[in-house]
Amino acid sequence: MGTNTEYLIPFKGLENGVHKYRFQVSTEFFLNFENSRIKKGNYIVDLIFDKRDLMMILDFSFHGDYQGSCDRCLTIIDIPNEGNDQIIVKFQNDVTLDSSQEVVIIEDDAHEIDVSSFINNMIHLHLPLVNKRNCEEEEYKFCDHSLLDKLERTQEDGDEGREPGTNWDALKDLNLD
């Protein structure tokens, strides 16, 4: 990914203390990352940047949505997503020390930090496991009702004439030896 100056924070010369930043993250942002699961999305990312002598504490929070195929009815919908994360950045001469997910080590003579990869990783780590909206509360206004009706009819047709538990009863007689 090429460096986008919008996500560069020059901290050399910045006073110690808390500084606040806000980033508008859109589709173009995610297209800059090769393996991004998000192809279309819009987010607001707030960063509380606490600069200290030997480290910086970056508290991120975000909210927004991304476009995905609903796992229930396959309609393309905007799926809400929000979260927060904290990253600690430490200054050290020996950058061969391993960074972790929560602690990033940068050289003492660094003068700026690119937060774009932190933002991308944070949003991706908070993606829901299932792409859907809370349809019951939203009266299924985003759903493909014809597909939901077909699913319901298929489920009802499959359940006719079956007693509860009969799917598992057939496995009792299975001999695996």
pTM: 0.75
Judged by DSSP in three states, 81 sits in: strand
CA distance 25 to 131: 20
| Closest to 117 in 3D by CA, of 3, 38, 13 | 3
Buried residues in 46-61 as b, exposed as e (16+ CB within 10 A): ebebebeeebbebebe
Residues 108-156 have pLDDT tens digits of 778 899 999 999 999 999 999 988 776 666 655 667 777 777 777 777 7
CA distance 57 to 47: 10
CA distance 18 to 132: 37
Task: Share the mean pLDDT of the chain.
Answer: 83
- Write down the pLDDT at residue 155: 72
> What element of type H or E holds 83?
strand 76-92
